Amino acid sequence: MARLLRDICYIRSGDKGDVCTAGLIAKTPQDYPFLVKTVTPEKVKQIYGEWVQGPVHCYRMDNIQAVVVVMKHALGGGATRTLRLDQTGKAMGHALLRLPVVA
């Protein structure tokens, strides 16, 4: 069965204004190249649909085998004015773990 991102990395998700940031951390150095290949701005946008209104950036951190995903206009206006329950995006990033790992 195809592996999902949840099998090869950890995640911590949060907010900064109306930006949702999600750090994905490879469980092992061997997993890191797969993590980098799997997470792209296009795929992130596709997962969240209308929930992410702005551009998405994916930043590599080779030194700690992590990828930081930054989604703009992604929290319905930011923690204080969003209508969503997850005001600070702590849960939001976890949906990225559904992405099938690109071999």
Partner 1 sequence: MKQKVRLGSGSGFWGDGMDPAMEVLEKGNLDYLCFDFLAELSMALLQRQKLKNPQAGYVPDAIHYMKAMMPMAREVGTKLISNGGGVNPRAAAERIVGDARALGLERTKVGLIEGDDILSKIEEMLQAGVTFANMETGDTTFSAVKDRIVSANAYTDSTGIIEALRGGCDIVIAGRVSDNAVYVGPVMHEFGWRHDSQHVDKIAAAIAVGHIVECAAGCTGGMSSRFAEMPHMGRVGFPIVDFFADGSADISKVPGSGGRVDQFTVKEHLVYEISDPRSYLMPDGIADFTSLKLEEVGADRVHISEVRGRAAPDTLKVVIGYQDGWIGESIAFFPWPHAYERTLKAKETMLERFERLKLNADQIHFDFIGLNTLHGPGAPMPDVDALAELNEVGLRCAVKTKTAEEAEKVRRAGAHLWIMGPGGTSFGTPIKPRPVVALWPTLIPREFVHQKVAILEA
3-state secondary structure of 6: helix
Contact pick of 5, 8, 25, 56 for partner 1 (by CB under 8 A) = 25
Site map (CB under 8 A) of partner 1, residues 40-79, x = contact: -------xxxxx-----x-xxxxxx-x-x-x-xx--xxxx
The answer to the question of residue 81 lying near partner 1 (CB under 8 A) is: yes
| Total interface residues for partner 1 by CB under 8 A | 46
CB 23 within 8 Å of CB 68: yes
Whole-angstrom distance, CA of residue 60 vs CA of residue 92 = 20
CB 5 within 8 Å of CB 24: yes
Q: How far is the CB of 103 from partner 1 (least distance, A)?
A: 22
The answer to the question of residue 4 lying near partner 1 (CB under 8 A) is: no
